[in-house]
Amino acid sequence: MTAVGVPFVAPAPWFPLPARLAVLLSGRGSNLEALAGACDAGTLPARIVLVLSDRADAAGLEKARARGIEAAVEERCGEARAAHEARLAARIEASGADVVCLAGFMRVLSPAFVARFERRIVNVHPSLLPAFPGLEAQRQALEHGVKVAGATVHLVDAGTDTGPIAGQEAVSVRPRDDAERLAARILAAEHRLYPATLAALLAGGWTVEGRRLRFPAGEPAEE
Ligand code: GRF
């Protein structure tokens, strides 16, 4: 744990490149595809070494296998959260992953799990945090009547969608939007934002001071 008031400075690069990523998901896996596509295109200097799902029926597992990526399932079957998380952590550690990328992983991770991978877990969330954390963020935004929605990539801390913000992309809300249409445009933003922000994180040299994460050369979206 970093002492309060002492900034954390990531080495540059954050990890030896190409960095090793573990992607955790529970469903569709479109963000997995975006990350894997960026790795293949060379815009994200990383390799996905493991896809891990807490659901055997997650479509993302097949997407991983079709790309030749190891895909594993660890379902929680009536056991304590700590026991399930111990199996997830063992898989991640065995893969040698540097960074854990949450991509539609529908479980809140315990403070103990987050501490085990301190500042090495990254998440994408379909709102402009800190607005609308938690489930159905796009519906929350629409029902609140905001005119601008969006997506956020952040480091994961012990709270729900509360960690330091690394990147955001705004999406306008249109008068005829329903939750589904808005979610589709936010998802397209996620697919741009997640690989680009992760690439900036992997380059390293960023700092976290209090809640504030700063990149050495400005925000990735400005480049
Ligand atoms: C995305 O909207 C992501 O922001 C949220 O869950 C959804 C996952 O979609 N955390 P996919 O499985 O990546 O297609």
3 falls in which pLDDT band (50, 70, 90)?
low
pLDDT tens per residue, range 17-45: 999 999 999 999 999 999 999 999 999 99
* CA 122 to ligand 1 centroid distance, Å: 13
Closest atom of ligand 1 to 25 CA is 12
pLDDT score recorded for residue 220:
62
6 falls in which pLDDT band (50, 70, 90)?
confident
pLDDT score recorded for residue 223:
46
Angle at 76 between CA 70 and CA 78, to 5 degrees: 160
* CA 58 to ligand 1 centroid distance, Å: 12
| Tokens, residue 22 | 């573990």
**Exposure string (b/e) for 78-113, b if CB count within 10 Å is 16 or more?**
eeeeeebbbbbbebbeebebbbbbbbbbebebeeeb
Average the pLDDT over 166-172 and give the result: 98
| Tokens, residue 57 | 């029926």
Q: What is the mean pLDDT of the chain?
A: 96
Q: What is the DSSP letter of 160?
A: S
